[in-house]
Amino acid sequence: MPSSDARFAANAANAQHSTGPRTPEGQARSSQNARTHGLTARDLIVAPNESKEFEQLLNDYQTEVQPQGAIQQTLFDELVGAAWNLRRVRRLEVQLWSDTTGDDEIQKKLERLARHKTRIERTFHRSLKELKALQTNAVFQEALPSEMRPYVPALSNAAAISKRTQQVAKTNQLAYIKASMAAPMPQPRVSSPQSPSPTP
């Protein structure tokens, strides 16, 4: 039997030892795990009584960040979603800490919340960093000489291009670079075989 068949058989045998819920009640409860706190849900969870607070958060971020274009909007949505979920984590932590029973189950829930919080904070900071980079890049692109802008791709590193352009401008090479970028690519040369040189 090939090793892939053996591996498949071993995986099937191990799956029979699954510790997941077996009763219909346990399976129904397990299927609702993402709904208990909503932190792993596919869509952002906003309860009806939280809609005004969420709209205020969204408006505040929109005013401050002012995303431009589809890529910035996608990162902005991730940023706002992470900011909202961080608020929800804090509320859930307060609810759990206010439970005075102090049993092991509450401790486990707090540990799971801490893991979710770490993951959400990473998403928040990554989205914020990438948004800053894109918006800084857009400012640098506006600072480029107008004759260079048509040749600079939108997601290129405009800061590096700007620095290089300033160096080039000092040596009056800007017109040469513009002409070089507009010129067609040179065709490869085909060398002809050399004839032997005549002997004296």
Q: Please state the three-class secondary structure of 144-191 as a single string.
A: CCCCCHHHCCCCCCHHHHHHHHHHHHHCCCHHHHHHHHHCCCCCCCCC
SS (H, E, C) 17-29: CCCCCCCHHHHHH
Prediction pTM value = 0.59
Residue 99 included in any domain: yes
Residue 183 included in any domain: no
Nearest one of 153, 152, 145 to 170, comparing CA atoms: 145
Mean pLDDT over 55-79 rounds to 94
- Would you say residue 28 has pLDDT above 80? no
What integer pLDDT is reported at residue 3 of this predicted model?
Answer: 60
With vertex at residue 16, the alpha carbon angle to CA 14 and CA 22, rounded to the nearest 5 degrees, is 135
Count of domains forming the chain:
1
Residue 59 included in any domain: yes
Enclosing domain of residue 70? 36-143
Between residues 128 and 21, the one the model is more confident about: 128
Residue 25 included in any domain: no
Residue 161 included in any domain: no
Residue 154 included in any domain: no
Residue 14 included in any domain: no
Q: Which segment of 41-50, 53-62, 145-154 scores lowest on mean pLDDT? A: 145-154
Q: Which two tokens stand for residue 14?
A: 């191990």
pLDDT digits (tens, 9 = 90+) for 32-42: 454 455 666 67
Q: What is the DSSP letter of 199?
A: P
C-alpha to C-alpha distance for 61 and 64, rounded to whole angstroms: 5
Averaged pLDDT of the chain? 76
User: How far, CA to CA in Å, does 11 sit from each of 14, 27, 177?
Assistant: 5, 22, 61
Q: Which two tokens stand for residue 112?
A: 């799971």
Percent of the chain with pLDDT over 70: 60
- Would you say residue 136 has pLDDT above 60? yes
Residue 6 included in any domain: no
- Would you say residue 71 has pLDDT above 80? yes
- Would you say residue 86 has pLDDT above 90? yes
- Would you say residue 1 has pLDDT above 50? no
C-alpha to C-alpha distance for 163 and 154, rounded to whole angstroms: 17
Q: Which segment of 31-35, 48-52, 63-67 scores lowest on mean pLDDT? A: 31-35
Mean pLDDT over 156-173 rounds to 63
